[in-house]
Amino acid sequence: MPDLTVVGAQWGDEGKGKVVDCLSRTARLVVRYQGGPNAGHTVRARGRETILHQVPSGILSPGAKCVIGCGCVVDPELLAEELAGLARAGVRTRGRLVVDGRAHLIMRWHRRLDRLREERAGAGRIGTTGRGIGPVSTDKVDRVGIRAADLLDEDAFQAKFKRNLAAANWLLMEKFRADPIPQRRLMADCWQATRPLAAMVGDGGALVNEALENGRRVLFEGAQGVHLDIDLGTYPYVTCSSTGVNGVASGVGVSPLWLTEAVGVVKAYTTRVGEGPFPTELAGAEGDTLRVLGGEFGATTGRARRCGWFDAGLVRSSVRYNRFTALALTKLDVLDSLVEIPLATGYRLRPQAGETRGGVVEHFDATRAARLEPLYETMTGWRTPTGHCRSWRELPLAARRYVRRLEELVECPVALVSIGSDREQIIEVKKGALQWLKSG
């Protein structure tokens, strides 16, 4: 069947942008179903690096049209900047991007409230991207949000804008003891800034349904990662959406019964930005080494990413939640120079007070994350560059052994291995493992 969902299987930044770019060359539609400008998806093609935040990465595949689905939250000002950046890079976007009218809009006060809450939370901070994701999602669930379709009716927009700004100003003054945002100027600015977006508002869900009904190839692009999922992740250190295959149906408006294939994107080690549990995290010099080798600095905020060894229990639970057809393993080349590579096969559960024995746990358990002690085994490194390899057999034997061990541990085949950030630096491990590639 011509559909594929690409999902981050760790804590985000696994290389989804690169994988989506590689797989969307034959797609008719590339659809984001959740998240917003908190995402940063990097694509390197023809020597140029592009970071997509809200626009699906498929925009770099000229034959694909793109949809921002109803499950996304959209910042009109940042979207206008992103589109201007793409235009400067010579990427045609006119007529190629539809924003679902049901997607909620991020306003300036959402960003301000997000940042103030983080600043004031001290040790209780989440480490958000400061893009207003929490506050806009609060409005959505509270059923007072402003949606993209509201941009088509100036009176309705102005009424909601005034009401919501008044509520935000009350919070700014009463809760945060901060200055309110003056209304008149902001409303005019905002209406002006949203005109480009208004021209793209449409029924994204209908477009995707029609494509599926006509057998057209549709790729669903996830943002963030499974363990940042609002329900399944390391709550409260999560984002505000359903990040896995679970988010596609409600985030686009298609039946889940359409979905036939999903690829989990995993890094050959683990990273996380922001706060929250991270069992295999490496403090000190080892973590610094991985960060430098992998260039682990955030694509959205520039923050240093926390780094650690591959955690099979974490990915095993992602495989379970998503029933991935296969994995795309990225950044294998980052491990090229290491003599030995530890990887966590599962965990020992540290006993609680009153318990004498903890036991062994195979799946990451977000509710008991602080008690999970990784159990490691060590693989031999290959100590040779892999960036030039273009087939499975060209990879050094020790690298192939690492990949094989990893797929055995997480109980899911690896269909793609990425050995560099460039579009060409990708290897199809098993021909035919993905129907999407066979039928493309």
Residues forming the active site: 13, 41
Ligand-binding site membership of 18 (annotated): yes
* Residues in region 278-317 near ligand IMO by CB under 6 A: 299
User: What's the burial of 188, exposed, middle or buried (CB within 10 Å: 0-12/13-18/19+)?
Assistant: exposed
Judged by CB under 6 A, the stretch of 39-47, 204-212, 253-261, 412-420 that binds ligand IMO is 39-47
Fill in the amino acid letter for 81: E
Closest CA to 58 of 212, 252, 221, 224: 221
Least Cβ distance, residue 391 to ligand GDP (angstroms) = 15
Ligand-binding site membership of 247 (annotated): no
Q: Which does 239 bind (CB under 5 to 8 A by kind): ligand IMO, Mg ion, ligand GDP, none?
A: ligand IMO
58, 134, 287, 313: residue in contact with ligand IMO (rule CB under 6 A): 134
Fill in the amino acid letter for 60: L
Query: In the complex, which residues of this chain contact ligand GDP (CB under 6 A)?
Result: 8, 12-18, 40-42, 44, 295, 299, 330-331, 333-334, 418-421
Q: Does 13 bind ligand IMO (CB under 6 A)?
A: yes
Q: Does 261 bind Mg ion (CB under 5 A)?
A: no
- Which is closer to ligand IMO, CB of 11 or CB of 157? 11
Q: Does 366 bind ligand IMO (CB under 6 A)?
A: no
Q: Does 40 bind ligand IMO (CB under 6 A)?
A: yes
Ligand-binding site membership of 420 (annotated): yes
129, 325, 345, 421: residue in contact with ligand IMO (rule CB under 6 A): 129
10, 38, 54, 322: residue in contact with ligand IMO (rule CB under 6 A): 38
Q: Is the peptide bond before 413 cis (omega within 30 degrees of 0)?
A: no
Ligand-binding site membership of 333 (annotated): yes
13, 21, 221, 333: residue in contact with Mg ion (rule CB under 5 A): 13
Nearest-angstrom CA–CA distance, 293 and 308: 12
Q: Does 224 bind ligand IMO (CB under 6 A)?
A: yes
Q: Does 264 bind Mg ion (CB under 5 A)?
A: no
133, 168, 395, 417: residue in contact with ligand IMO (rule CB under 6 A): 133
CB 149 within 8 A of CB 101: yes
Judged by CB under 6 A, the stretch of 33-41, 323-331, 364-372, 405-413 that binds ligand IMO is 33-41
- Which is closer to Mg ion, CB of 10 or CB of 164? 10
Residue nearest to ligand IMO (CB): 274
3-class SS string, the chain: CCEEEEEECCCCCCCHHHHHHHHCCCCCEEEECCECCCCCEEEEECCEEEEECCCCHHHHCCCCEEEECCCEEECHHHHHHHHHHHHHCCCCCCCCEEEECCCEECCHHHHHHHHHHHHHHHHHCCCCCCCCHHHHHHHHHCCCCCEHHHHHCHHHHHHHHHHHHHHHHHHHHHHCCCCCCCHHHHHHHHHHHCHHHHCCEECHHHHHHHHHHCCCCEEEECCCCHHHCCCCCCCCCCCCCCCCHHHHHHHHHCCHHHCCCEEEEEECCEEECCCCCCCCECCCHHHHHHHHHHCCECCCCCCECEEECEEHHHHHHHHHHHCCCEEEEECHHHHCCCCEEEEEEEEEECCCCCCCCCCEECCCCHHHHHHEEEEEEEEECCCCCCCCCCCHHHCCHHHHHHHHHHHHHHCCCEEEEECCCECCCEEECCCCCCHHHHHC
Q: Which does 331 bind (CB under 5 to 8 A by kind): Mg ion, ligand GDP, ligand IMO, none?
A: ligand GDP
* Residues in region 291-330 near Mg ion by CB under 5 A: 299
Q: Does 228 bind ligand IMO (CB under 6 A)?
A: yes
Q: Does 221 bind Mg ion (CB under 5 A)?
A: no
Structure tokens at 379: 């693989």
Q: Does 40 bind Mg ion (CB under 5 A)?
A: yes
Least Cβ distance, residue 205 to ligand IMO (angstroms) = 22
Least Cβ distance, residue 185 to ligand GDP (angstroms) = 35
- Which is closer to ligand GDP, CB of 239 or CB of 330? 330
User: What's the burial of 355, exposed, middle or buried (CB within 10 Å: 0-12/13-18/19+)?
Assistant: exposed
- Which is closer to ligand IMO, CB of 133 or CB of 433? 133
3, 4, 5, 8: residue in contact with ligand IMO (rule CB under 6 A): 8
CB 150 within 8 A of CB 197: no
Judged by CB under 6 A, the stretch of 123-131, 176-184, 318-326, 368-376 that binds ligand IMO is 123-131
Q: Which residues bind ligand IMO (CB under 6 A)?
A: 8, 12-13, 38-41, 126-129, 131, 133-134, 223-225, 228, 237, 239, 273-274, 299
Q: Which residues bind Mg ion (CB under 5 A)?
A: 13, 40, 299
Which residues are annotated as part of the binding site for GTP? 12-18, 40-42, 305, 331-333, 418-420
